Amino acid sequence: MKQRLLIIFSYIGTNYCGMQTQRANINVKSIQKVLEKTFETVVKHPVNLVLSSRTDKGVHALESTAQVDIPEG
C-alpha cells in the first residue's frame, strides 16, 4: 500500500536546468531530480515525483506543487 503526499515548495532556479528531469540528458541538475533524491534519502526507496507544472532554466517559483507516492513499511 502507498501513501500519496501533496508537497508545496518554492525554489530559486538560478543553478538549475528547469523543474523537470531531462530525459535527453540525465546528467543535468533539475528541481525534480533534487527533490526525488531527497525523498529517497528519507524513505530509503526510489520515488517518482509528479509535478503540476514546468519552468525553464533559471526560473524561480513560489508555491509550486507536486505529488509523490511513498511506500508503507
- Give 12-71 pLDDT, tens digit per residue: 999 999 888 877 777 889 999 999 999 999 989 899 999 998 888 888 999 999 999 988
| pLDDT score, position 34 | 93
Question: Which of the following is catalytic: 46, 52, 53, 56?
Answer: 56
Q: Which of 73, 61, 71 is nearest to 4 (CA)?
A: 71
What does pTM read for this prediction? 0.84
Residue 21: predicted pLDDT: 87
pLDDT classification of 73: cutoffs 50, 70, 90: low
Distance between CA atoms of residues 34 and 64, nearest Å: 15
Q: Number of helices and strands (H, E) in the chain?
A: 1, 3
Q: Is 69 one of the catalytic residues? A: no
